[in-house]
Structure formats: C-alpha cells, structure tokens
Amino acid sequence: MSVESVALPRPAVGPSSVGRLARLVGGSFVLRSLLKAIATILIVTTLTFFLVRLLPGSPVEVYIQTLMGQYSMTYDQARDQASALYTIDLDSPLYVQYLGYLAHLAQGNLGTSLLSQGTPVSDIILRFLPWTLFCIGTALLVSFSLGIGLGMILAYRRESTLDHVFTALASVTSSIPEYLIGLLLVVFLGIQWSLIPIAAMRGSMSPGMQPHLGLDFLIDALFHAALPITTYVLGTIGVWTLTMKSSTIAALEEDYVTVARARGLRDSRIRNAYVGRNAILPLVTQLAITAGYVVGGAVVIERLFVYQGIGYVLSSSIDQRDYTVMQGVFLTITLAVIFANLLADMLYGRLDPRIRLAGGGG
C-alpha cells in the first residue's frame, strides 16, 4: 500500500523585516525626524572636519608665525617650540585623524583645545555658551514680542499715518546689516555724542564680578549686553513687524472672520481667538527656527562689542586655527538648528491641528 504524501501548507509569507522597518519609519514622524537628524549631524560633522583643514595655515604654522614676530625666533626655533607644545599629529593622513575624531565623538568627547592645552572643548563651550543664550536669546524675545504687537497694530490701522511711518522704518531697519547698526551705535552714541561708556561696556561682565544669583550680577550682565541686545533688536524687529502685519491682513480677509463678525462676537475675541492665533502661526515656526541660529548667529555682533560669548570664541578659534574648538562649536550650532526645526514642526502641528492630521501625527 503506497503512502500518499500529504502536502503541508506553506506558511503565509509575511512582510520582510526590511519592509516592516521601512513602513514603521515612514509612518512615524518621530523616527523620520530622528533619522534625518542623525544623518544631518554626520554630514555636517564630516564636512566641518575637512573644511576647517582646508583653511590656509594650520595651528602650528599660526603659532610659529606668532613666535617669529613677537620673539624674533628663527623658523627652526619656533617650530621646535611649537612641536613640543602641540600634541596633535597634523602630519598623519586625514582619514586617520577623521576616524579618531569620530571614535572620540561617539564617546561624547569633543577633544581638547589646541591652544589651551588640557582644556576640554566641552568646558569651553559650557563656559561661554550661556552668555550668548542670555544676550541673543533676550534680544530675540524682545524683538519678537515688539514686532508681533506693532505688526497687529499696523494691520488694524492700514493706510494711516502711523502705518506709513512705521512700515517705512521697519523696511529700512530690516535692510541694514546688524554689524552696520552696531557700528553706528558705537560711532554716534559712544564716540561722537559720548552718551554711553563704550570702553566700560566691553566684555560680558565687569572685572572681579563672579556669576551668582543676585540683582547686582543681573544688572551688570544687562549693562554689558545692552549694546548687543539693542543691535540685534533694531536689526530684526522690522522683519517681525512686516511679517506679522501681512499675516494679520491676510487673516482679516478670511471668511471665518466675516462669519464671526456676523455672529456678533466681540472685536477683542475676534482679534485674539481668530485673527491673532492664525496670523501668528508662521511667525511661531519662524521664531523656533531663528532660535536655533542664536548660537552661531552672534559671531559678528560679539566680535564687534568684544562680548565674550560662543560667537566670540568661534571667531577667535578661526583666527588661530584651533580645529577642535571650531569643530565643537560648529557641532553645537548644528544640534541647536536641528532641535529648533523639530520644535518648529511640533509647534506648528500643535497650533494648527490640520497640519497634524494631514501628516498622520498623533
């Protein structure tokens, strides 16, 4: 008797792990954002590493030239002293230096400064970054708040004398570079008219002052940050004002505003709940993105007023070719911009549910 073979049912072929992972990533806003952030950080880190080494000169050569100019050393004497000072091997292949840099970076180690031997780059960033966040962050909030209020007022008073005057002023100030505004403040307020003590306002705090939680320290910090804050506010308030004005005018022409008025709602409720909330949407996302550039956007202003923040550190490290400090600051700027973009996406989805529903977000 022959035994009839029985065909076993084949298991249903499910989606491959790669396909499941692709669908998971494609359907999750958070995972997509994280993967893009990691890729961006890797690309920027790689570009920064190689681009800073394309700058003319090296930290060793800059130091050699300094020794030759200040101490009248010969090139060989200066090179011997520089070789004893610098522990970095700049003569090794770039890919070897790059792999070593990535290995340290994966451990959270940004390296040590080439000029300040033994000083970790992370300590330098943590020391100077708060000053930039305080100065430019304060200026950004002041500029944004004033621009929002002034833009709404101009939108509600269209074609009035107030509208024409402030719109013209906003257009002029937004077209002038911030460093030029700073130079004008120094020349006229500090030199020509002697209204402010320029020399005393240099730096981030007065000599002998130690950071602490006290009113005297806050007043001193605001005194030294007054000129950078004023420069940044004057250079950016025009953009916020004009953007808010045009956004408010567009919101006033929407049908839901007409319906709200037909229902007899109070003007204050229409202005705050309907016009203001919808008009401010693009500015909130723009504020979040702009906040990401606070870290690196203060280089010129800080250098102009000798305000010792992270922008001043970056400028000095570029002059002296301090590669490790440059790489650390650029990485910090990259992280700030990426976080700001993620925050902008989340804020927009929270303020406008239509964006959240269209993107499939929770």
Taking only the tens place, the pLDDT of each residue in 30-63 is 677 788 888 989 999 999 999 988 888 777 787 7
Segment 118-176, tens digit of pLDDT: 789 999 999 999 999 999 999 999 999 999 999 999 999 988 999 999 999 999 998 99
Confidence of residue 284 (pLDDT cuts 50, 70, 90): confident
Closest alpha carbon to 136 in 331, 239, 244, 290: 290
Confidence of residue 184 (pLDDT cuts 50, 70, 90): very high
Residue 358 is encoded by which pair of tokens?
């269209």
Buried b / exposed e across 231-250, counting CB within 10 Å, b at 16+?
bbbbbbbbbbbbbbbebbbe
pLDDT value of residue 77:
81
pLDDT value of residue 4:
47
Parse the chain into domains and list their residue ranges.
33-106, 124-358
- Are residues 37 and 338 in contact, defined by beta-carbon separation less than 8 angstroms? yes
Residue 264 is encoded by which pair of tokens?
């007899």
Residue 36 is encoded by which pair of tokens?
């893009």
- Are residues 140 and 232 in contact, defined by beta-carbon separation less than 8 angstroms? yes
Indicate the SS3 state at residue 111: coil
In this prediction, residues 18-35 reach a mean pLDDT of 64
In this prediction, residues 305-324 reach a mean pLDDT of 90
Question: CA-CA distance, 110 to 334, in Å (whole number)?
Answer: 14
pLDDT value of residue 139:
93
Residue 6 has pLDDT above 90, yes or no: no
Question: CA-CA distance, 270 to 255, in Å (whole number)?
Answer: 12
Confidence of residue 113 (pLDDT cuts 50, 70, 90): confident
Give CATH for domain 124-358: 1.10.3720.10
Percent of the chain with pLDDT over 70: 85
Segment 210-221, tens digit of pLDDT: 888 889 999 999
**CB-based contacts of 253, cutoff 8 Å, min separation 6:** none
